[in-house]
Structure 1
């Protein structure tokens, strides 16, 4: 069995879920985690943030339920409403980070979201990945090169297809996958304890 974490780096609910995801991964070191970018803001949804009029209200709700921080840097970045959330670029970043340190995919996904939602850095900018690499002790030049490489774009598209094949339509979604069977452990929001309860029930059912 493995865990498949389908999220989008530009999804506020995914940002809120990142603490739970880190806790779940830490509690279950025996379970490999596949981090997959969902592709929330692509195509016609890749528009200035002002067109999503519900953003601030949604963020307040996410913060209330999960304790997630939406920092001053983020507030400044989106203040005039012109910023465009491009999930394809963010997915290229996830692919580059995943390639650089696959065993730390969950922590690096959370760091990527903090770069946007707390510090206000665009996930389309190479400099954002340079900062992330330096903070994580990774090779900054290599990470930036990977982010800009054609292979990262191919990986992003592969992630979007993977999410669709799994039937995931909402982010974040955490699945337990075994023998090509996927069971949802969390969708949108859940605590680590709730995920543990569902995982234990699943394991008990499989054992019986």
Structure 2
């Protein structure tokens, strides 16, 4: 059995799920976790954040319901409304980090979200991934080179196709995959205990 985490680095509810994901990973070190970027802000949705008028209100709800932190640097980044969330660039960054340390993909995904939502760093900037890689003890030069490579662009697009093929309609989605069986453990929001109960029920089959 493995877990498949489908998220978008620019999705506030995915940021809210980070604590649950980290807890699940620590409770189940035996379970491999694959991370797939879903592609929330692509194509015509790559517009300045002011076009999404609900962002601050939604973030307040997320913080209240999940305990997630939205940092002052993030608030400054989006304050004038001109920042553009580009899920393609973010997916390339996730793919570059994932390629450097596949067994740590879940932790690196949450680090990417912290870089944006806590530290106010753009996920389109190679320097962001250099910093995340350095903090994680990875080869930062290799990660930045991968971020800018055509192979990583292809990996990001493959992620979007995989998420769509899996029928994922919202982020975050945590799936358990056991052979041909796929079952959802969390859609949008869940505690680690709630995920564990579903996981235990499936493992009992």
Rounded to whole Å, the distance in 1 between the matches of 2:19 and 2:28 is 14
Residue-by-residue CA offset, 1:9-65 (whole Å, 9 max, x unaligned):
000000000110011111111111110000000011111000000000000000001
SS at match of 2:6: strand
Structure 2 length as normaliser, TM-score?
0.98
Q: For the Cα contact (< 8 Å) 1:166–1:182, is it kept in 2?
A: no
Rounded to whole Å, the distance in 1 between the matches of 2:131 and 2:199 is 35
Rounded to whole Å, the distance in 2 between the matches of 1:56 and 1:43 is 23
Shift of 1:180: 2.5
Rounded to whole Å, the distance in 2 between the matches of 1:152 and 1:103 is 18
Q: How does 1:193-208 map to 2 (within 5 A)?
A: 193-204=193-204, 206=205
Q: 1:98 is matched with which residue?
A: 98
Rounded to whole Å, the distance in 1 between the matches of 2:40 and 2:182 is 21
Residue-by-residue CA offset, 1:161-181 (whole Å, 9 max, x unaligned):
110111001000000112222
Rounded to whole Å, the distance in 2 between the matches of 1:197 and 1:6 is 20
Q: 2:30 is matched with which residue?
A: 30
Q: 1:126 is matched with which residue?
A: 126
SS at match of 1:36: strand
Q: 1:83 is matched with which residue?
A: 83
* Alignment partner of 1:46 is 2:46: yes
* Alignment partner of 1:172 is 2:172: yes
CA RMSD of aligned residues (A): 0.7
Rounded to whole Å, the distance in 2 between the matches of 1:180 and 1:94 is 26
Rounded to whole Å, the distance in 1 between the matches of 2:29 and 2:117 is 27
SS at match of 1:70: coil
Structure 1 residue ranges (4+ consecutive) displaced by more than 2 angstroms after TM superposition = none
- What residue ranges of structure 2 are gaps of 5+ in the alignment? none
Structure 1 length as normaliser, TM-score?
0.97
Q: How does 1:152-163 map to 2 (within 5 A)?
A: 152-163=152-163
Rounded to whole Å, the distance in 1 between the matches of 2:2 and 2:139 is 28
- Between 6-15 and 126-135, report the one with greater CA deviation: 126-135
Length, aligned pairs only: 205
Q: For the Cα contact (< 8 Å) 1:8–1:38, is it kept in 2?
A: yes
